[in-house]
Structure 1
């Protein structure tokens, strides 16, 4: 049923109505198709089996329609108000506080059952079906109270480039419509939820104990592991854990619930509390623990499955992990259908599926080989979760399986020691010697974790950039994996049957078959990974990234070289880390062959400096020989040398040949190479490196930030006409992009890279008119996000706006 409900949600979001009916009839036809397999069964057994199949098919088909309808209803409710909200609009809001947290010296309140008034003169309140986040400056309200306040709407940002974090999609999956900032006139009424408020206070009290007893670094790790308080986690430690592939131990998940909950339950059972007494106490404790940690999708799934397990033991029924997982998924998706597209939701449920289904098949196959069992289970678990990891993070930790074998056995000790030390620290002073003694295992193990992660991150290829696999590839991958596991299960079953036939022959055959299974499992698994992560060959691809007020251009040549031009912004913070680098990783670009810098203003190199700091591989840095050697230049060159990047200098008329591609420097001769130009006070924009790219009949002109005088100098050189792609000079400045220059260049496609709101007045009206007067198609990153140009045929070019993925513009010369 859960599978049918999930398919219904997927069709409501992405599919067409006909796919719903196709899948509906396919589910109903499934029992009839497999009926032929029952012929070998006794007549008395056929009817119950067929009845169970038909029952399953009808329930799954009903769940399919229910998921499709329910998701449509939720989407329709949100469409009643979301399209009409504007960023910065003032509203009156009232809603009930369901949670709160401290983040970056602010208090974030989560409100549900909300109503808003978009105009204070209108008395009618509009109901909001989703929750709303309030940014407050003080902790004056309690969970459970109803707030009435005035503030400004803060809409969540959409991703504007491939691979970038989509804030709007992230919060939609968590059922949050928007945020409200600049809050004033807050009034609170109603009773507080004393239990939830107490859990919130305990959470930060325990976090304070850990910080005082273990220090900021280790205290932050323990607070994240035990309390789900990620804001206290050191950024460097977080990156170390992610690179090593053990960051999952930081999330509140089934591992934590199993260790804490089952330890408590077994202690209570030994104390003669009985199944019901022990189960109720342990369930209530874990529910309260889940509330304290924020009850995310992963922890809700783990707590719910734990409670179902306890209920089964209390009533004397067997526990089925798959059914419990499916029931929990239905609970989450009924409340929030879009949780299906949350990374945490997917990783949590897929990991459980890998353990309880794929893991059990491998354990059964290697039941006489304890070492192979552990290795095989860890390997198949990685096979299950790696596609999802690559889909969201574009890289995979190579040594994760080995490190998890070393790390996981000690997690339980950390959790038990952390809980005991935290409770003791609340009862006495956190700096007490006894608290330090109880938390000593945490200190030793967490220090060991950090050392292991540091060593692993220093090994070659610790993180393998895979790119974002296509949805089709992932679907085929999982189908092949399921078929392989089914065959392994079938072979294991046949072996057990053969073992019963004869003991002596069985031992010989079993030895051979185990050896065969060992190699086949790993060989097939590696084959699947090669299939999933082998990049698809592509032709020329030119992308102008939306970096705000700045430039950042990626070029993949027909010859297979990866080139980047500039990379910076003046209005987007950490543009290299959060916009440029994720784009490169999502496209599977492991390194840049040539990174050209037009000039060293921050709106052209700020992101490049960050990328060097991140350790991303850049083979060659190409600079203009006449470039002004100021502080920014020296810093860039120093960083490049520090990271082993070759420095290449270009002069006017120099050409770089990469396969069939030719990149020529056509920068104006104005002060070019003049060592005295610093004393003459030349503007860095005038010294921009201008590049002409030519390959297989396609040409592109990249102009940096040159002005009118430099355009005249380029025209005097001549030979620049009928250009296929033109990057507008100086972000579309009115002091560049002159009519005479553009008439000579005669571009087919033009792109202006600038922010919607900037203090320079870009793009200038005159520049826009001059470009359009040439007949060129004009695109803006501020409107369409990332702009991508690809070649369809010899004379056809396609342009795609990232924010309009369903619309493609085709140009024929």
Structure 2
């Protein structure tokens, strides 16, 4: 019967395609052109900001031309109508984005700039206080002072010379005070004394763009409040407000679902993420889910809503309710559920889809999934137009569209590849129905996973530079655990009221399954090819991938072009990653990138033989610089393995990110000087890091003094010598590793933190100091700088890695010497070709200088 059913469904799809693409779209998804047009209008207006009047002229002109074409050529009638709808909604997209970006009368945005200003604001708290975790990175408790929290504030008034005046806008408040000290809830009215500034653009390639995220959310600035005294509670949230009851409901549900006495912290964190959408727990565990392509389980989406709706639907049917009654109960339960969970893109999409299907059941209409998805996208983009450019929004809708478009064909092919049982005799025959059911379940789940992978893999590749080819198969493996956790979790709610003991047993079962799930995902992350790191991919590769994919699915099944298109689509699907790999990869010479990490240092060295080194990794004033700056940069560059991490000396701002880098990026070895090795046995920064790396199986080892030759590149260790490393009278800074890298007759000198003593000793060998590019000692500090040392190096360009507050007092080069500063230029890349050509370029400033061969 399954084979007959599949054949009937395939025949139905074949017949629907004979009406042509336009006819199929009018039948199955008439709102799809409107959604595509709206997205095209938003994207075009955002990426090509033409004058507003030009859109007023252009879009009606295109629409008129399409309408005339549709009237004159009858076969084009349906297609012309769909194009006209798309053009009309493109105009709506342009107008909506213009309205979204236009500041209101009392908008705070025009008053907020890059430099902080003192401000006194009054407003309403919008969110719970998020408590920062100081233990989520190795040096968090020692290096970062901000153990406080953050929340969002809807500003209503701002103090001016004329007193408090009306003001509109949302700001993100960051404070060193803890959530317990603040004791704030959504709906509370407060007054804050703060430093108000705009969000900084990312200073390094691959770094998460916080400014763009806040702009999409309509958040106009960041307010920094140093202490709890700077936040004054004016009025608690009234008991009649929705936010008050929403907060109470969240607390009640969380207490009912989560029992702190059961399981470990990580097991409970996974259960909380699956049930309530609250992401907590170890970053290493989340990284394991990301590497395996299973992070979608931790984001509330259609899967979670489907299980919840199915659970409620079955309960309502057991209670004797008809289809409209069941739909009404599902609608009510999912509305309440949305009041509990965070309103993320995937969650909102899943909720609106669920509500539309419930409404269709209430009025007796058949739902059309693709049309409903298009309607959901239109509604959400009209409310939040900038969400179109968010990776989570694109992934949410892209994967669901992939399921709706490709699940049917994939299921048919899997049906032929995985037929039913062939057990015909004896006891084995009794297993036939169970075996058939298991095969059908796995086949359907694999089909959904593959379809979602096809829809989302291009988006993942573009935004994150990775491919997870095994994610569809791993989904089949992990899904039973997810189903069990969600089922036991949802059962807890009614049991908590009626049978508390049974609710505790359900909680124990969910927590136990959460622990099994964590262990399983952490184990399978080490499978070969579980993740392929590609790096930054040009948008044309992604566009070509989706164009061929949609051509294969939507073009007519018959005709002379069908078979070549299928082959071309398969070829593009295989070649797109190869094309991505070949894009802007390994330099023929050497490339150094000095990352912008505030007061600290992290230098990526790309060598011509394919190896990558990281010279130092630390920051004094950034929180978790490893996972926030360095690892994203390495992924952007397509680096999935570091041949070596080199530690210059025992100083926290040079090594406090190494543990996280070594955890997230495969690292073969960690090297340093004898001076650092001595310090690893002591109570020091190097000691803490050394013990951690020893446990991970990557101990710190000594770096040779002998020069290293790698193709046209020569690497020399100039300082310190063995005697200096053993001398207790020499400071850690003056024992810093100094390295000289040469290629094609050009050289780069990395000075780390050497001060007066180290510089004076190096001046004894002036012939080895000469360099074209100098990475300044001690972050460009003038305090212990020997001007004679700079003259001996005689650089053509200098690079200073420092914080924004230190840049004004940092060393300024003399005339004729180019200066690059990481707070303003961003990451600075030095590239030297084998023929001696050299370039130095700032990532943010886009300033580039060139040196031709001698």
- 2-side partners of 1:801 and 1:32: how far apart? 51
Residue-by-residue CA offset, 1:554-598 (whole Å, 9 max, x unaligned): 122345442322222222232223222221122111222343333
Answer yes or no: is 1:172 the counterpart of 2:215. Answer: yes
Match of 2:714 in 1: 662
- 1-side partners of 2:271 and 2:669: how far apart? 42
Task: Return the offset for 1:686.
Answer: 2.0
Look up the SS of the partner of 1:589 in the other structure. coil
Match of 1:505 in 2: none
Q: Is the 8 A contact 2:112 2:196 kept in 1?
A: no
Match of 2:774 in 1: 726
Match of 1:147 in 2: 189
Q: Is the 8 A contact 1:414 1:445 kept in 2?
A: yes
Residue-by-residue CA offset, 1:666-702 (whole Å, 9 max, x unaligned): 337xxx22278434x1112222222221112332111
Match of 2:545 among 477, 486, 503: 477
Match of 1:705 in 2: 753
Match of 1:454 among 501, 515, 522: 522
Look up the SS of the partner of 2:191 in the other structure. strand
Within 5 Å, which residues of 2 pair with 1:529-568? 529-539=577-587, 540-568=590-618
Answer yes or no: is 1:329 the counterpart of 2:377. Answer: yes
Residue-by-residue CA offset, 1:245-273 (whole Å, 9 max, x unaligned): 32212221111112212442454356554
Answer yes or no: is 1:649 the counterpart of 2:734. Answer: no
Change (3 A) 1:573 1:271: closer
- 2-side partners of 1:379 and 1:194: how far apart? 45
- 1-side partners of 2:650 and 2:174: how far apart? 40
Change (3 A) 1:561 1:708: same
- 1-side partners of 2:282 and 2:670: how far apart? 32
Change (3 A) 1:548 1:133: closer
The farther-off stretch of 434-443 and 775-784 is 434-443
Change (3 A) 1:789 1:472: farther
- 2-side partners of 1:98 and 1:364: how far apart? 48
Match of 1:11 among 21, 44, 61: 44
Change (3 A) 1:118 1:546: farther
Match of 1:387 in 2: 458
Match of 1:749 in 2: 797
Look up the SS of the partner of 1:565 in the other structure. strand
Between 1 and 2, higher relative CO (CA 8 Å, sep ≥ 6) is seen in: 2
Match of 1:261 in 2: 309
Match of 1:42 in 2: none
- 1-side partners of 2:77 and 2:596: how far apart? 57
Look up the SS of the partner of 2:119 in the other structure. strand
- 1-side partners of 2:445 and 2:491: how far apart? 30
Task: Return the offset for 1:344.
Answer: 2.0
**What is the aligned residue count?**
761
Residue-by-residue CA offset, 1:598-617 (whole Å, 9 max, x unaligned): 322222222224433x1633
Q: Is the 8 A contact 1:240 1:453 kept in 2?
A: yes
Task: Return the offset for 1:412.
Answer: 3.7
Match of 1:64 in 2: 90
Q: Is the 8 A contact 1:665 1:692 kept in 2?
A: yes
Q: Any gaps of 5 or more consecutive residues in structure 2?
A: 1-33, 134-147, 419-438
Within 5 Å, which residues of 2 pair with 1:363-442? 363-366=411-414, 368-369=416-417, 375-426=446-497, 429=500, 432=501, 434-439=502-507, 441-442=509-510
Look up the SS of the partner of 1:757 in the other structure. helix
Change (3 A) 1:374 1:263: closer
Match of 1:280 among 328, 336, 343: 328
Residue-by-residue CA offset, 1:473-526 (whole Å, 9 max, x unaligned): 222222232234346x7269999xxxxxxxxxxxxxxxxx9xx99999977644
Match of 2:80 among 27, 30, 54: 54
Within 5 Å, which residues of 2 pair with 1:104-503? 104=132, 110-112=152-154, 114-119=155-160, 121-128=162-169, 130=170, 143=186, 145=187, 147-153=189-195, 155=197, 156-180=199-223, 181=225, 182=228, 183-188=230-235, 191-209=238-256, 210-212=258-260, 214-215=262-263, 216-231=265-280, 233-265=281-313, 267-268=315-316, 271=319, 273-366=321-414, 368-369=416-417, 375-426=446-497, 429=500, 432=501, 434-439=502-507, 441-486=509-554, 490=557
Change (3 A) 1:714 1:531: same
Within 5 Å, which residues of 2 pair with 1:91-110? 91-96=119-124, 98-100=126-128, 103-104=131-132, 110=152
Task: Return the offset for 1:190.
Answer: 7.9
Task: Return the offset for 1:32.
Answer: 8.9
Within 5 Å, which residues of 2 pair with 1:535-684? 535-539=583-587, 540-612=590-662, 614=663, 616-624=665-673, 629-631=678-680, 643-644=697-698, 647=701, 649-651=703-705, 654-667=706-719, 672-674=721-723, 677-679=726-728, 681-684=729-732
Task: Return the offset for 1:795.
Answer: 6.7
Task: Return the offset for 1:302.
Answer: 1.0
Task: Return the offset for 1:223.
Answer: 2.0
Match of 1:40 in 2: none
- 2-side partners of 1:109 and 1:796: how far apart? 50
Q: Is the 8 A contact 2:748 2:774 kept in 1?
A: yes
Task: Return the offset for 1:64.
Answer: 1.6
Look up the SS of the partner of 2:532 in the other structure. strand
Change (3 A) 1:723 1:240: closer
Change (3 A) 1:367 1:101: farther
Change (3 A) 1:72 1:607: same
- 2-side partners of 1:377 and 1:811: how far apart? 54
- 1-side partners of 2:670 and 2:842: how far apart? 29
Residue-by-residue CA offset, 1:744-795 (whole Å, 9 max, x unaligned): 322121111111236xxx7756x32xx224x211111122221223459967
Look up the SS of the partner of 1:125 in the other structure. strand
Task: Return the offset for 1:725.
Answer: 1.3
Match of 2:103 among 48, 60, 77: 77
Task: Return the offset for 1:159.
Answer: 2.7
Match of 2:829 in 1: 788
Within 5 Å, which residues of 2 pair with 1:736-775? 736-757=784-805, 764=809, 767-768=811-812, 771-773=813-815, 775=816
Task: Return the offset for 1:60.
Answer: 1.3
Q: Is the 8 A contact 2:292 2:530 kept in 1?
A: yes
- 1-side partners of 2:97 and 2:387: how far apart? 11
Task: Return the offset for 1:426.
Answer: 4.7
Look up the SS of the partner of 2:48 in the other structure. coil
Look up the SS of the partner of 1:490 in the other structure. coil
Residue-by-residue CA offset, 1:340-383 (whole Å, 9 max, x unaligned): 22232121111111111122332355555556665455334223
- 1-side partners of 2:776 and 2:735: how far apart? 16
Q: Is the 8 A contact 1:5 1:60 kept in 2?
A: yes
Q: Is the 8 A contact 2:762 2:769 kept in 1?
A: no
- 1-side partners of 2:571 and 2:162: how far apart? 70
Quote the RMSD (CA, aligned, Å): 3.9
- 2-side partners of 1:490 and 1:35: how far apart? 28
Task: Return the offset for 1:59.
Answer: 2.0
- 1-side partners of 2:581 and 2:407: how far apart? 23
Q: Is the 8 A contact 2:312 2:330 kept in 1?
A: yes
- 1-side partners of 2:188 and 2:208: how far apart? 32
- 1-side partners of 2:609 and 2:284: how far apart? 38
Q: Is the 8 A contact 2:204 2:826 kept in 1?
A: yes
- TM-score between the two structures when normalised by the length of structure 1: 0.83
Match of 1:800 among 841, 847, 854: 841
- 1-side partners of 2:826 and 2:234: how far apart? 40
- 1-side partners of 2:240 and 2:85: how far apart? 38
- TM-score between the two structures when normalised by the length of structure 2: 0.79
Q: Is the 8 A contact 2:545 2:573 kept in 1?
A: no
Task: Return the offset for 1:655.
Answer: 1.4
Match of 2:35 in 1: 2
Q: Is the 8 A contact 1:96 1:146 kept in 2?
A: yes
Residue-by-residue CA offset, 1:17-42 (whole Å, 9 max, x unaligned): 39979999788877999999xxxxxx
- 2-side partners of 1:309 and 1:721: how far apart? 72
Match of 2:744 in 1: 696
Q: Is the 8 A contact 1:71 1:337 kept in 2?
A: yes
- 2-side partners of 1:23 and 1:772: how far apart? 55
